[in-house]
C-alpha cells in the first residue's frame, strides 16, 4: 500500500540487553476433533496423497515447513465430553458417539495412538488435554498411565496389546479446557474446578512426576470471572501446576481495519494481567516458583461464525462437517503477525502458545473437500517466519516511535517490533508490522554492539487489498523480498510500507 504520511521508529539493540530465551513451544499449534481438522484434514484414507496409515502426506509437509514443536490435542471443547477409551483398540470395535460440543458424530477412527504417530511424522510432540468436564480423576490418571507408563499395569498393558510397545511419553498435559465457560460440557465454578484440577494434578504427578501441567485460565479477556478465576483456581492448583492457560480470538467485527490492527494491544494487556495474577498467588502462597503462561488458543476467528451456527443448529450430527472454516484475508495475516510479536515480547513468561488451529478449522493450512489440494492461507506466512526466525533470545530494545489513535485504542504504535538474537546461528531478526494504513514508517536500528553485520534479506508481506485471500487456485498473498533496507556500519535503515509484515534478517 502507498503511504502519503510519515511515521518513525528508532531502536537501539544491544546483545547484552536480553529479555529471555524463546521457548520453542511458543510456536505450538492445536488440532481438535472438530469439523474437518482430523477427518479430511490430517486423515483421509484412500486418498492417493495419504500414506499407509491414512495420513495426508502433503499436509504433513506443510506442517513440517511451519516447524511446529508441539500440538495440543484432542480439544478444545471436544475434550470435555471425550471418553478416551473409545478411541483406542481395534478400529472396527470403536463406537460412534454423539459429540455434544460441536453437535457432530465422532467415529473415533483417529484416537490417542494414531495422533501420537501423526505428531511424530510431523516432527512434533503432543500436548494432551484431559477431560475435566464429564471426566473424573481416574479417567485422567488412566489416560496418563496408558500413554506414559512403560508396562506391567492395566492401562500400559492395554496400550501394548493395542500394538504400541513404547510409551508415548507425553510431557505436557492440560487439566481440562475452558472450564469457566458456560458453553463447556461440565462447566464448573472456580472453586469446583480448582479443587478437581488440584486433586487430578496431584494424582497425575504421582504417576509421572516429569509431566508439566497446565491449569485452565479464562476463556477470554471479556469473561466476567476474569481475573478472579485465575486467582482462585491457582490458589488450589499452585503447588502442582507449571502453567496457566490463556485463550483469546480476535476479529474485525466492526469493519474498522485500523482499529482491528490495534487489537494486539488487548492481548498484551491480557498477558500483563495474568502475569500479575500468577505473581499475586505466588506471593500469597509464599511460593518459590513462577507460574508461566501457556497461551494455548490464539488466532483470528470470526469469519465463519454465522455459517457455524447454522450447521450446529439446523444440520447437527454430521460426520466432520465444515465448521470454523475461516478464510483469512491479508489484514488477518497482519494481525496474526502482531499477535506473534506480542507473544515474543513476553517470552520471559509466555513459554507455550498454540495457534488455534492447524488444519481446516481456523487454520493456516486448508484442504479442499473431496480429497482436493492442500493450500496455505494468508496467516501461514507470518507464523512460518516467526517459527523459523524467532528462535533465540528476545532483546530489550531502547525504542521510540510515532503513535496514532484508533476508534477503540489510544497510544497505538505505528510500527510494532520485536528483535530476536540467535547466538548459535549468529543472526539477528527484526520482526515489524507497520499497522497504519497510510504512513511510511522509517525504521532505524543501531546494532553496533554486535560488531560486524550484514543484511541477509528483508522479507515483506504486503498487498494493496486488505481483503485479499488465498485459495487452492490462487496464492494472492505471499511473501516477497524488499529492497528498502540498507545496513552500514551497524546502522540499519528501512522503510516499512503501510500495512505490511516485515522480517529483516541480519548476519552477525
Ligand atoms: O478452537 C475452537 C474452540 O475455541 C475450542 O474448542 C475452544 O476451546 C474455544 O472456545
Place of cell 531478526: 429
Model confidence, pTM? 0.98
The Å distance, Cα 221 to ligand 1 centre, comes to 14
Which of these, 442, 384, 473, lies nearest to 7 by C-alpha position? 442
The Å distance, Cα 482 to ligand 1 centre, comes to 37
Find the largest Cα–Cα distance for the chain.
Answer: 71
Residue 133 beta carbon below 6 angstroms from any ligand 1 atom: no
% helix, strand, coil for the chain, step of 5: 30, 30, 45
Residue nearest to atom 7 of ligand 1 (CA): 76
CB 377 within 8 A of CB 329: no
Secondary structure element (H or E) that encloses residue 203, with its range:
helix 190-207
Compute the distance between CA of residue 498 and CA of residue 412 in angstroms, rounded to an integer.
Answer: 14
Place of cell 511424530: 120
CB 103 within 8 A of CB 47: no
Ligand 1: nearest atom to the Cα of 181: 10
Residue nearest to atom 6 of ligand 1 (CA): 76
pLDDT at 2: 79
Q: Give the Cβ contact number of residue 254 at 10 Å.
A: 10
pLDDT at 167: 98
10-residue block means of pLDDT along the chain (508 residues)? 91 96 98 98 96 98 98 98 98 97 98 98 98 98 98 98 98 98 98 98 98 98 98 98 98 98 98 98 98 98 97 97 98 98 98 98 96 96 98 96 98 98 98 98 97 97 98 97 96 98 98
Residue 356 beta carbon below 6 angstroms from any ligand 1 atom: yes
The best mutation among 217, 356, 359 to test binding of ligand 1, ranked by most ligand atoms within 8 Å of the C-beta, falls on: 356
- Angle, helix 154-161 to helix 137-148, in steps of 10 degrees: 50
Long-range contacts of 373-377 (CB under 8 A, 24+ apart): 373/58, 373/472, 374/49, 374/56, 374/58, 374/59, 374/62, 374/472, 375/470, 375/471, 375/472, 375/475, 376/62, 376/470, 376/475, 376/478, 377/327, 377/328, 377/469, 377/470
The Å distance, Cα 76 to ligand 1 centre, comes to 5
Residue nearest to atom 9 of ligand 1 (CA): 76
Compute the distance between CA of residue 489 and CA of residue 487 in angstroms, rounded to an integer.
Answer: 7
CB 490 within 8 A of CB 446: yes
The Å distance, Cα 412 to ligand 1 centre, comes to 29
Q: Do you find a cis peptide bond into 74, omega within 30 degrees of 0?
A: yes
pLDDT at 483: 95
Residue positions counted in the chain? 508
- The verdict on whether 32 is a catalytic residue reads no
CA dihedral 107, 111, 114, 115 (to 10 degrees): 120
pLDDT at 315: 97
- The verdict on whether 178 is a catalytic residue reads yes
Catalytic residue, candidates 32, 106, 114, 178: 178
Residue 338, phi then psi, degrees to nearest 5: -65, -40
Count CA atoms closer than 13 A to 348's CA, side-chain side: 9
Amino acid at each position: 500500500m502507498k503511504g502519503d504520511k510519515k511515521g518513525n521508529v528508532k531502536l537501539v539493540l544491544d546483545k547484552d540487553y536480553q529479555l529471555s530465551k524463546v521457548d520453542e513451544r511458543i510456536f505450538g499449534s492445536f488440532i481438535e476433533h472438530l469439523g474437518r481438522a482430523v477427518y479430511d484434514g490430517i486423515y483421509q484414507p484412500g486418498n492417493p496423497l495419504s500414506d499407509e496409515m491414512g495420513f495426508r502426506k502433503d499436509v504433513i509437509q506443510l506442517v513440517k515447513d511451519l516447524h511446529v514443536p508441539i500440538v495440543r490435542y484432542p480439544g478444545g471443547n471436544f475434550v470435555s465430553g471425550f471418553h478416551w477409551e473409545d478411541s483406542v483398540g481395534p478400529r472396527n470395535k470403536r463406537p460412534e458417539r454423539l459429540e455434544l460440543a460441536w453437535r457432530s458424530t465422532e467415529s473415533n477412527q483417529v484416537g490417542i495412538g494414531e495422533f501420537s504417530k501423526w505428531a511424530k511424522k510431523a516432527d512434533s510432540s503432543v500436548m494432551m488435554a484431559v477431560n475435566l468436564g464429564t471426566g473424573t480423576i481416574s479417567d485422567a490418571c488412566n489416560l496418563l498411565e496408558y500413554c506414559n507408563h512403560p508396562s506391567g499395569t492395566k492401562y500400559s498393558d492395554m496400550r501394548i496389546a493395542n500394538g504400541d510397545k513404547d510409551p508415548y511419553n507425553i510431557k505436557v498435559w492440560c487439566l481440562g479446557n475452558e472450564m469457566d465457560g458456560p458453553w463447556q460440557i461440565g462447566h464448573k465454578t472456580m472453586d469446583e474446578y480448582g479443587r478437581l484440577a488440584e486433586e487430578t494434578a496431584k494424582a497425575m504427578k504421582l504417576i509421572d512426576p516429569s509431566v508439566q501441567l497446565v491449569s485452565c485460565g479464562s476463556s477470554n479477556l471479556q469473561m466476567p470471572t476474569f481475573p478472579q478465576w485465575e486467582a482462585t483456581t491457582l490458589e488450589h492448583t499452585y503447588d502442582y501446576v507449571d502453567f496457566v492457560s490463556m485463550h483469546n480470538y480476535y476479529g474485525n467485527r466492526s469493519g474498522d481495519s485500523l482499529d482491528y490492527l490495534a487489537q494486539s494491544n488487548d492481548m498484551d494487556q491480557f498477558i500483563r494481567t495474568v502475569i500479575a495474577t500468577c505473581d499475586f498467588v505466588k506471593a500469597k502462597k509464599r511460593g518459590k516458583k513462577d507460574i508461566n503462561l501457556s497461551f494455548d488458543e490464539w488466532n483470528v476467528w470470526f469469519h465463519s461464525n454465522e455459517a457455524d451456527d447454522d450447521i450446529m443448529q439446523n444440520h447437527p450430527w454430521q460426520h466432520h462437517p465444515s465448521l470454523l472454516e475461516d478464510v483469512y484475508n491479508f489484514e488477518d495475516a497482519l494481525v496474526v503477525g502482531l499477535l506473534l510479536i506480542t507473544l515474543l515480547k513476553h517470552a520471559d513468561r509466555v513459554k507455550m502458545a498454540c495457534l488455534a488451529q492447524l488444519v481446516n478449522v481456523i487454520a493456516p493450512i486448508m484442504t479442499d473437500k473431496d480429497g482436493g489440494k492442500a493450500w496455505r492461507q494468508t496467516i501461514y506466512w507470518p507464523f512460518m517466519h516467526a517459527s523459523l526466525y524467532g528462535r533465540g533470545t528476545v532483546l530489550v530494545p531502547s525504542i521510540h516511535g510515532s503513535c496514532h489513535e484508533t476508534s477503540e485504542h489510544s497510544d497505538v504504535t505505528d510500527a510494532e517490533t520485536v528483535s530476536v538474537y540467535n547466538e548459535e546461528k549468529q543472526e539477528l531478526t527484526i520482526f515489524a508490522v507497520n499497522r497504519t494504513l497510510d504512513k511510511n514508517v522509517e525504521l532505524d536500528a543501531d546494532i553496533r554492539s554486535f560488531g560486524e553485520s550484514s543484511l541477509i534479506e528483508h522479507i515483506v508481506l504486503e498487498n494493496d487489498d486488505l481483503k485479499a485471500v488465498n485459495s487452492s487456485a490462487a496464492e494472492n498473498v505471499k511473501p516477497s523480498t524488499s529492497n528498502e533496507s540498507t545496513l552500514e556500519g551497524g546502522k540499519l535503515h528501512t522503510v516499512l510500507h503501510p500495512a505490511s509484515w516485515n522480517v529483516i534478517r541480519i548476519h552477525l
